[in-house]
Amino acid sequence: MLPKNSMKIAVVGSGYVGLVAAACLAELGHELICVDNDREKLFALKRGEVPIHEEFLPELLAKHRGKRLVFSDSIENAVRASDAVFIAVGTPPAEDGYADLSYVECVAREIGNAIHEYKVVIEKSTVPVNTSDCIRRTLILNGVPTSSFDVVSNPEFLREGTAVSDFLYPDRIVVGADTARAATLLRKIYEPLTSGRYYKEEDAIPGPDGAQIPPPLIMTSTRSAELIKHASNAFLAMKISFINAVATICEHVGADVAQVCGGIGADSRIGSRFLSPGIGYGGSCFPKDLAAFRAVAHDCGYEFRLLDEVIRINEDQRARFLRKIRTALWTLKGKKLAVLGLAFKGGTDDIRESPAVSIVNCLLKEGCEVVAYDPAAAARAAEVLPQKVTFAESAYDAAATADALLILTDWEEFTALDLDRLHAKLKYPIIIDGRNLFDPDVMSEHGFLYFSVGRPDAVPKRDIARARKAG
């Protein structure tokens, strides 16, 4: 028997957003049908394989697969069996920066062909403003009476690596609904969270520190909800680019960007989150969402130059890091470099728009030998990187006899490395840290020549360096 207030829901798309949403909605007690046209992927999901690296997702799929969560290749059957249909297909960027909405349109047509009674169609994919109007028009053109559906925008705010926690313990739930009937249905879907009921269950997924329970439900128009998603990601990317620009100034004047971040982040109006200098943002969201938001602004007749600068700073940050490597090593041709991290961020195996992959490609063009290690993303990276890249089984194996070690992804396990063992493995004790994972003073104590972003370089303490050489 299904829990109280359970609903029947279809999720079209079993990618990152769709699979996490389906698993989490099943966790909230709803009955889910997750639809995908990739039969090989569906068979793998039915066998219990998990296609992405995401904390808590394997547990949820094992718990609900074949019970509250089933997989199908039929949109028609899923729509007819459900009260609500989430569209969670890809919206990749086109060459002109606009989001490619062809998958969304195709799904909308198939949904329209299957509707025989009232349904709520919910945008979960990240889409530009007015997409809800296009979905509505597509349904009407396919013969669906306006009384038989509503279109709702329910943007996701999931961070890769913490997507399950982000879904179940959100900062906010945004629902853009233009009718009371649709709004009521969405409130029912999220009631286990907004009432706090889910958090009282003994087997609830544990939440992060400081989670707001229950989370606020923000009701808006569909267009406002669509804008909230793009504007949120643009603002977060702006914070990253801003602090990277500040880090550049810190390097020129001899200041420590970590101290500057502490002073800035202590201001409650600003906050410390996303004030993390490094080699720039990447992934499947920020780059394409900024491009799409900029394209929307252009269509409105507004030149959003602030976004242009955010993007430029991010691209320049990779070039600056390459210059830092050249400074540390003098020449690059023929150098053996150990690379730690290939995913665009720690906690995920996603390499889309990864700064790490971009930097590795640049190093290969300069004639470097690269030995790389990533806890989760090596297999995906091997599909896109040249075959001459060697993949190691551990950070220490990657470091063996390397002229220098580069840290390109902020995996937590890298912060726990045995620094003495790492020092012994390297040919030269040079570390160039693109994620500021270590304290320069600690690295100096352990005999490293250490370069980071926006902080003074650290040199080995002479007594330690002499002792190691003598040993």
Residues contacting residue 393 through CB under 8 Å, at least 6 positions apart = 373
Cα distance between residue 411 and residue 349, in whole Å = 11
Q: Residue 195 maps to which CATH number?
A: 3.40.50.720
pLDDT value, residue 126: 87
Burial class of 467 by CB neighbour count within 10 A (0 to 12, 13 to 18, 19+):
exposed
Is residue 463 included in any domain, yes or no?
A: yes
What is the arithmetic mean of pLDDT over 248-253? 96
Q: Which of 199, 218, 237 is the last residue of a domain?
A: 218
| Helices and strands in the chain: count of H runs, count of E runs | 18, 14
Q: Could you say which of 134, 285, 362, 368 is catalytic?
A: 285
263-306 pLDDT tens trace? 999 999 999 989 999 999 998 889 999 999 999 999 999 999 99
Is residue 261 included in any domain, yes or no?
A: no
pLDDT value, residue 95: 79
Chain mean pLDDT for the chain: 94
Is residue 20 included in any domain, yes or no?
A: yes
Same domain, 63 and 211: yes
Q: Which of 218, 239, 258 is the last residue of a domain?
A: 218
Q: Which of 166, 198, 218 is the last residue of a domain?
A: 218
Is residue 355 included in any domain, yes or no?
A: yes
Query: pLDDT-derived band of residue 208, with 50, 70 and 90 as boundaries?
Result: very high
pLDDT value, residue 214: 96
Is residue 136 included in any domain, yes or no?
A: yes
User: Domain count of the chain?
Assistant: 2
Query: pLDDT-derived band of residue 96, with 50, 70 and 90 as boundaries?
Result: confident
State which amino acid sits at residue 58: P
Same domain, 206 and 342: no
45-90 pLDDT tens trace? 999 999 999 999 999 999 999 999 999 999 999 999 999 999 999 9
Q: What percent of the chain has pLDDT over 90?
A: 92
pTM of this prediction exceeds 0.75: yes
Does residue 2 register a pLDDT over 50? no
**Residue 106 is a catalytic residue:** no
Is residue 295 included in any domain, yes or no?
A: no
312-364 pLDDT tens trace? 999 999 999 999 999 999 999 999 999 999 999 999 999 999 999 999 999 99
Same domain, 197 and 329: no
Tokens of 431: 């570390």
Same domain, 196 and 322: no
Is residue 3 included in any domain, yes or no?
A: no
Sheet holding 369-373, edge to edge: 390-391, 369-373, 336-340, 404-407, 430-433, 449-451
Same domain, 17 and 145: yes
Residue 374 sits in which domain range? 317-470
Does residue 235 register a pLDDT over 60? yes
